Amino acid sequence: MTKFYESKPCKNCNDTRRYISTKKCPTCARAYNASRNGSDVTTVCNNKSRVQLRKALANSGVDKFEGTRCVKCKSTERYTRDNSCVQCAIRRSRSSDNSASARWAKNNPDKALAKVRRRELAKMQRTPSWADNAKITEIYAWALLASRATGVQHHVDHIIPLQGDAVSGLHVEGNLQILLWWDNLSKGNSF
């Protein structure tokens, strides 16, 4: 029994065969079914139907997929929204964040200094006389040691922020924790 008939070429993959039952080309149908089943969809379609596949993945809530190898970083992880390399996008965002804040500090040295001084003053005002400065220093030393050992920067974070909106914490050893830098920066003044 014949499953296919010949028709005009598919606009996505140029396949001229169509299923008799659904009138869809077999390549696009396999890609669509694979995206719905969560299997490795890059192996079921050729290059032209990958566009349709990315759209199907994006519509189903999948934000990343294994695609072609990136020329710059050799990674195969891609975003479904625009087929861009995930690792290169992360590197771009980190470098632009750092350079934007550095440019702001260079263009506004008085405001940057005021920001640093406000932070230092808040820390001094929220350090009670009974705080154990040796333990606080030890926590900062552990964070520095973790950064050197792993190669990833670690921050000492105040669990309850010093300058919170609703409450303000103290600069004491019980209110300090060591976090990876991205976790600390994403936390902001929340707890």
d(CA 152, CA 176): 19
Which is more confident, 179 or 46? 179
Q: Quick check: 48 pLDDT over 50?
A: no
Work out how many domains the chain is built from and give that number. 2
Q: Is residue 69 part of a domain?
A: no
Give the three-state DSSP class for 32. helix
Q: Is residue 98 part of a domain?
A: no
Q: Is residue 37 part of a domain?
A: yes
Q: Quick check: 74 pLDDT over 60?
A: yes
Of 18, 34, 62, at which residue does a domain stop?
A: 62
The residues that bridge with 157 in the sheet, in sequence order, are 177
Q: Is residue 137 part of a domain?
A: yes
Residue-level pLDDT at 129: 87
Q: Is residue 116 part of a domain?
A: no
pLDDT in tens, 10-20: 777 677 778 77
Q: Is residue 25 part of a domain?
A: yes
Enumerate residues 6+ apart whose C-beta is below 8 A from 86.
64, 75, 77, 78, 79
Which is more confident, 134 or 13? 134
User: What percentage of the chain reaches a pLDDT higher than 90?
Assistant: 4
Angle at 137 between CA 113 and CA 150, to 5 degrees: 90
Of 38, 62, 86, at which residue does a domain stop?
A: 62
Q: Is residue 155 part of a domain?
A: yes
On whether the CB atoms of residues 143 and 178 are closer than 8 A, the answer is yes
Residue-level pLDDT at 45: 45
Q: Is residue 81 part of a domain?
A: no
Enumerate residues 6+ apart whose C-beta is below 8 A from 154.
143, 144, 146, 147, 178, 179, 180, 181
Of 62, 95, 112, at which residue does a domain stop?
A: 62
d(CA 65, CA 99): 30
What is the domain range of residue 151? Answer: 129-187
